[in-house]
Structure 1
């Protein structure tokens, strides 16, 4: 089993298989535009711009489970673009915990549980996935995206060798 067994829906309603990103390392992050951690969008975009040409994909998944997101997926994506310059793919708003959680997030959290629980504790929990679709690292919401760079570079080096 890997993330390639799951589907995702972009903010425009287009559903696709994550198999589309096979052979690419990924950063998958649950987001919220009204969260105090929202400035991480700029940092994630900077990483995306720097490493996208080498194969890295960043995927944003808005969630309102922590009551810090607008109610419309297109509006959330537009806010990310205009406020933070986000160009990486943004998806429809989904739950990331509980019975109604997006199956992808159930899988991610089962593969890399948090320190005390599998559940996503807050917005901007970040998952690093290798080119084979395996979850290799989970980063806490307060971990700044730049701290992921050594692990990202290691994955990209491995992929190119």
Structure 2
């Protein structure tokens, strides 16, 4: 993709505007993204496809396998709080809806209601996809290769911009736990 960068002064801060002409050399460009993330997934209850490299390349990630009807579903609230707290520092929270443990909603509409209406989720939620076994999507295959595959819903994987899993947190670890907060803050400090 070819782009030309033009500087624009907005409220006294330099911002970057993009137009076609020169190579895209921004941090987070698709070329710098790990192969495991260079895939498209459909947004939950939407026709929009998201290429993870184009959207999140070069960023630290918190990747979570989710389900709408699970004893841990209330963790959506804690994940949203992490998103709100750390998004401006570069952390992207990505939820992969999955029926790997037979606890996803019967329809995407119902899953979207649980996420967006019941818990106020604004972080990226993706349509249901396999996260375990031979059918696991490429992201979860790589997460499992580096650590372990999810044993249940709401496994949380903290991933460095280069695709390395920094830490895996099981279902019982709450998003607001001290261990999780410390690991996120350390990763954000290391990547700035």
TM-score normalised by the chain length of structure 1: 0.89
Q: Distance in 2 between matches of 1:40 and 1:95?
A: 20
Q: CA RMSD for the aligned pairs?
A: 1.5
CA deviation vs aligned residue, 1:55-103 (integer Å, no higher than 9, x gap): 1110111111211111222431232111111110111111211232212
Contact 1:62 1:91 in 2 (8 A): yes
Which residue does 1:73 correspond to in 2? 108
Q: Which has the higher strand share?
A: 2
Taking CA–CA contacts closer than 8 Å with sequence separation of 6 or more, which of the two structures ends up with the larger relative contact order? 1
Instruction: Give the superposition deviation at 1:2.
Output: 4.5
TM superposition outliers: structure 1 runs of 4+ over 6 Å: none
Q: Which has the higher helix share?
A: 1
Contact 2:36 2:138 in 1 (8 A): no
Which residue does 2:6 correspond to in 1? none
1:93 aligns with 2:128: yes
Once structures 1 and 2 are overlaid, which stretch shifts more, 75-84 or 121-130? Answer: 75-84
Shift of the 99–3 alpha-carbon distance from structure 1 to 2, 3 Å rule, reads closer
TM-score normalised by the chain length of structure 2: 0.75
CA deviation vs aligned residue, 1:34-53 (integer Å, no higher than 9, x gap): 10101111011001100111
Q: Distance in 2 between matches of 1:87 and 1:155?
A: 22
The partner residue of 2:188 within 131, 142, 156 is: 156
Q: Distance in 1 between matches of 2:90 and 2:155?
A: 21
The partner residue of 1:129 within 141, 159, 165 is: 159
Structure 2: any 5+ residue segments left out of the alignment? 1-33
Contact 1:48 1:88 in 2 (8 A): yes
Alignment of structure 1 residues 44-59 onto 2, 5 Å? 44-59=79-94
